[in-house]
Amino acid sequence: MKELAYNADASRKLDILSKGAFLTTYLDGKVNTMVIGWGSIGYMWRLPVFTALVRQNRFTHDLLEKTGEFTVTLPYVDLPEAISICGTKSGRKLDKLAECGLRAVPSRKIAVPHLGVPGFHYECRVLYKTTMSSENLDKAIKELWYEKEPGDYHTLYFGEIMDSYETQ
């Protein structure tokens, strides 16, 4: 494990995120991970912050609402089967990690584990959350991303980056 600044090699991290990263939650002994392709790495309130978007109908949303912690894994290896399973199946009905051969590894500063794959990992604690509203959303974005599931807007979770590191 190599400790790195949260913003080290930001362009590479954003490239990986756009192709699919994993957001992991944990509650009562159950680990759940989902694929995210949207997010933001930034600096707010004098703190390093990862902003993650999660739709309200997702199991991950339920867990995040209860725990207020999450990890983000930006994999350095191609994981097409894991991306497919974790991006299309619900953790309510399936142990996604077991299904795609991923393993959870204890994190250093929060209860939520990160995924045991080579990559960059963020450990985050929710500082603020807000749910999008249609009134404040650009019409073209609304039509492109929310017409199929009207009313199922994302909740934005602003997570303080408590720790960041890469594994090989």
> Going along the chain, which residue ranges are E strands?
2-3, 21-27, 30-36, 39-44, 47-55, 69-75, 104-105, 114-115, 119-131, 154-167
Q: Give residue-wise pLDDT tens across range 57-114.
A: 899 999 999 999 999 999 999 999 999 999 999 999 899 999 999 999 999 999 999 9
pTM: 0.94
147-160 tens-digit pLDDT: 887 778 999 999 99
What's the DSSP call for residue 37? -
